[in-house]
Every structure is written in C-alpha cells, then in structure tokens.
A and B are shown apart, each in its own frame.
Chain A
C-alpha cells in the first residue's frame, strides 16, 4: 500500500487520499446476481411513497368494497322512510338518503360497481388493444395501413358522445357501459402496442430468433410481448380511473346503472336535489370516495410509469 501512494513532501494532502478504494478491486468479480428487470422496477416502485400510498389505498378500497356492504344491518336498497335524511349517527354511519337508505352501505356497494367497471375496462382494453396493435405492427405493410386508418377514424370520435349514443340505443345499465367502454377504450392501447412492436420487431435479438428458426408465435410470445409489458401495464392502470370516471359521469346523467343499484354517480346525482339543504353527507361521502379512488389509481399508475420509464433508469 505504502509504495503505491505518491510521495508529495510539500503538501498537506494526507496519504490516505491516494490509496485506491477497495471497491475498485472488487468490481471485477460479480458479487451479486444482477437484479431481474421486474425486481428492479419493484424496487423503484416501492421507493416511491406516493405510489405506495396509492397501492395501499387501492387494497383498502377493494377490501371495503367486498366486506363493506355486510358491515351494517342495512342493505343497499332497504328503505326506511321514517329515517329519511338522518345525519351520520351510530346506526347510519354515513347518514341516510331521502328514502332512508343507508349511505354507508350504498357507498361501498358503489365501490363494487366502480371497481368492477374499472377492471372490466382494463381487461377489455388489454385483450382487444394488444391483439389489434400487435397484429397491425407485426404484419406491417398494407394490413397495418388499413388497420391504422380504421383506428384514425375511431380516434377522431369524441369518446363520451359515442358512449352516450350507445346508451340511448341499448338502454342504460352496467352491461351497456362495459360495451360502450370497450368500443373506444382499446384504441390508445392498440396504438401503443403497434408502435412498440414496430420498433422491436427489427431488433437484432428478434432477427437472431428468426434465424434460429423461431416461429412467429414464439417471437411474439417470448420476445415482443414481454418487452412491451411495461407500457401495457401502465396504460391498463391508468385506464381504470378513466373508466371509473366515465361510469360515474354516465350514472350522474342518468344513463348509467339504474335504481335501486347504487353507484357513486347516481348518489351524487341524487344529492344534487338537496345540495343547498344542509344534508352535506349525501354529497360528501360519494364525492370523497370517488375522488379517493381516482387519486389512488392515478398516483399508483404514475408511480408505475416512473418506475418503468427507461429514461429514469441510471
């Protein structure tokens, strides 16, 4: 050690400064197995406090959506005219509406509807969007051209207007909302997957796989899809709040789920009539929980995107 450090007599620089760091010698040996891509992503995700908060909220909301309606002796539709519009108390934890229905039970029933719609929309977006975009990008050429022109036209349609028109034709209800969401919801995903596939299919490892005799099926399953999975998952996560908003919006307009089924949108709509009467709980609870849900999914989705974004990787 001593002989490696240069002697500088007329200097007050301590000798230790010139001793090479032990780390440098060890760098040559692999001292821990490289993290897999997903382990890496999860590490970054869990370091993001906001994203973790979002995830915890999502889990709590899901649990409450499942057990919430069973926690009281009321059902979402049981009425009690004598107890109409009671303020929150020990029997009606979140108060009651003008028909004496329990707001607490209805809020969690509404959570079921919202989460169900969100999950269904994400799943539909995944199935249609990935298939359509994948085929379009992988086939390329004329097929791609025709498929993308169709997407261009669909993309030009104002999304909520299409949904509203369908509601008028098919009649309101949960099923119609899902159909309506699936007609326009997959377009963004299709464009995203197509772009990724276009980029990836010319990558050298894909060429290598092809040279080695890999079938189209194998290339798509083993190479293209896994490498596109990050953006796909982010897009799905961020679809959920959009779908939840769409459902609440339509239900608010009276085009969504129909009475007596509770949804945050219909509850807010019911509260519109009593907005200046001081029955604050009628609006506050559905408003609070829909905002909390949107918040949770949005920050979680954002966190996921940041965790997956290659630009952030150092």
Chain B
C-alpha cells in the first residue's frame, strides 16, 4: 500500500513539473505581452525598467529557475495589468468565493446524484426511474453556462428570492451551484443507477434478503457500498469539470472569485496571472486525482490484486 501511494505521489510531482514547465514555455512563446501595448508612449528606459521589474531581462534559463522557485512558494510577483497588486493577493481575495461555490456544488452533486441514482435503481422502470434518467439527460445535454444564463433569464428575473448576481448570502449560491452541479449530478446518478442495478442481482443480496434483513439495511449496507466504489473514481474528473465550469458561471453571475480573474487575465494577456491560476488549478486537480486514487486503493482491496496480475 505504501509503495503504491509513494509511486502515485512521485507521478503527481512529475505531472506537476510538466505542467509548470509547459506553462512556462507556452507563455514565453506567446506572441505579444502587455508591455508591448504602448499607449502611454513608454521610453526605452522605462521599458527596460519594466522588463527588469518582471525579470524579463534575464537569460531564459534563469527566468525558468526563478519561476520554478516562485511556483513552489506560490509567489508569482506583481500582476502585469493591475500593476500595483501582487498576483497572489488578488487570487487570495477571490479564493473564498470560489472555494465556497465549489464545495457547495460538489456536495450538492454527490448527495443528490447518489440519492437519485439509488431511487431510480430501486424503482427500476417505474416513474421515478424515468424521471431520474430524464433529469440526467437534461443535465448532460444543456451546457452549464447555458443553464446559468437560462436561470437568470427565467428564474431570478421573475423571483426576487434568487439574486441575479454577486455573492454573499446562501441565496446567492443556489442558482450558480445548481447550474454547475447538474452535469455532475447526471453523471453520478447514471453511474449509481447502473451499478446498483448490477449489484442488486448479486447472490449476496439474495443471501441478505434470505437472512431477513430489512430493505433499508440491504440497500445501504450491502448494495450501496459496492455500487458507490466506481463513483469514487470519477470524482477527480468531476471536480475538474466543476472548476473549469466555475470560470464561466462566476462570470455570468458576477461572482468575485478566482475564475473571474482567470478569464480576465486571458483576454488581457496578464502572463503572471495566467500562470498562477493555471498552476493553482492544476495542483488542486492533480491532488484530487491523487486522493481519489489512494482512497480507492484503501476502500477496495481488490484493486491491488488487479495491479499484480498485470
């Protein structure tokens, strides 16, 4: 087990290094920089000073090493566009809102996805099953940013209860979280449903029934535990999709989060900001994948056996 975790950890570090390096290379080759936009008539001296300010006058290797060091300490220097502010400060100011939205979405997606999936499986081919599958297909078909906009146009403009924008109270979180969660809900519900249907035909369920266990005990203790195993594996991917989705949903609902900065930094070509957000998001994503792998290895001892067979 420890060897497995160690190996995964090593790959996590390698992946992170690749991401950081690739980001660096891409940003160096990117055409144009905010310093090229010469709308104030910058003198040569001023330009040189600016280059020195952003360490752009050093040899590329030095820039790279310096950048690696900064990436490890999460210190990305000043933003190129909002020149008076440090990138890490700006990100720190947006982080709470993004984190809250992300967590609410994740919890909503996991809980309602599992409940819907279980109900659909228990009432297979009944009304609730069809309804769940209908919701799932809708959730997959309508892109999250479209849902967010439809929510504003048809729900929050009609009901004052749901604010159309900004962040603050729990009411602000409902619609954005719903828009972000519906895709993951659909995926989790479908997966839980098909796994449950498969597990419910297993012999040990019949044994449990024969022993006279209550339905609740059979479903929760015997069926659900086995049905949920594969769901764990996709959590990493779902978290990533919630992240990227939050870029647009934060923009649509004008939520002051990290996603806002990311979108702005792309259009402004604010390289330190782009690199910082990319690295932070990738780090969270990769750590999530790592945790998922480890948890899966712990919860399902069979996974180790498969590894040995290969």
A interface residues (Cβ-Cβ under 8 A, vs B): 149, 152-153, 156-161, 164-169, 171, 241, 245, 248-249, 252-255, 268, 271-272, 275-276, 280, 283, 287, 290-292, 294-295, 298-299
Bound-complex Cα distance A161 to B245 (A): 11
Judge if B119 is at the interface, Cβ distance under 8 Å: no
> How many chain B residues have a CB neighbour from A under 8 Å?
44
**Quick check: is B230 within 8 A (CB to CB) of the other chain?**
no
For residue A298, give the distance in angstroms from its CB to the closest CB of chain B. 5
- Please tell me if B162 contacts chain A, counting CB pairs below 8 Å: no
**Which B residues lie within 8 Å of A298 (CB)?**
137, 140-141
A185 to B164, CA, bound (A): 35
- Using CB atoms, name the residue of chain A closest to B14: A153
A291 near B142 with CB under 8 A, answer yes
State whether B26 touches A249 (Cβ < 8 A): no
Verify B153–A156 contact, CB threshold 8 A.
Answer: no
- Closest Cβ neighbor of A161 among chain B residues: B278
How far apart are B190's CB and chain A's nearest CB, in angstroms? 9
Which residue of chain A has the shortest Cβ distance to B279 in the bound complex? Answer: A161
Within 8 A of A (CB), among B17-64: 18-19, 22-23, 26-27, 29-31
Contacts of A152 in B (CB 8 A): 11, 15
Instruction: Return the CB mask of B113-143 against A: 1 if under 8 Å, else 0.
Output: 0000000000000000000000001001111
* B26 x A299 contact (CB < 8 A): no
A131 to chain B, nearest CB (A): 22
Closest 4 pairs between A and B when the two form their complex, measured CB to CB? A295-B141, A156-B15, A160-B244, A294-B141
- B149 sits at the interface (CB 8 A): yes
Is B266 an interface residue, CB under 8 A from the partner?
yes
Q: Is the CB of A299 within 8 A of B240?
A: no
Contact between B286 and A276, CB atoms less than 8 A apart? no
CB distance from A267 to the nearest CB of B (A): 11
A165 with B278: in contact, given A171-B31, A287-B146, A287-B150 (CB under 8 Å)?
yes
User: What are some 28 contacts across the A-B interface (CB < 8 A)?
Assistant: A153-B11, A153-B14, A156-B11, A156-B286, A158-B244, A161-B281, A165-B22, A165-B26, A165-B27, A165-B278, A167-B266, A168-B26, A169-B26, A169-B29, A249-B248, A252-B145, A268-B149, A272-B252, A275-B152, A275-B153, A276-B153, A287-B149, A287-B150, A292-B141, A294-B140, A294-B142, A295-B137, A295-B141
Query: Across the A-B interface, how many residue pairs have beta carbons closer than 8 Å?
Result: 108
Chain A: CB-nearest residue to B190: A302
A-side interface mostly: helix
Q: Which of B264-293 contact A (CB under 8 A)?
A: 266-267, 269, 274, 278, 281-282, 285-286, 289
Most buried by A among B153, B263, B282: B153
Q: Name which residue of chain A comes closest to B243, CB basis.
A: A158
In the complex formed, the residue of A with least CB distance to B145 is: A252
A245 close to B243 (CB less than 8 A): no
- By beta carbon, the residue of chain A nearest B289 is A156
CB-contact partner of A169 in B18, B30, B140, B157, under 8 A: B30
CB B45 to nearest CB in A, in angstroms, measures 29
C-alpha spacing A252/B245, complex, angstroms: 12
Residues of B within 8 A of A290 (CB): 143, 146
Give the chain A neighbours of B251 by CB distance below 8 A: 253
Across the interface, do A254 and B164 meet the contact criterion of CB distance under 8 Å?
no
With A249-B143, A298-B140 already in contact, the answer to whether A165 and B15 are too (CB < 8 A) is no
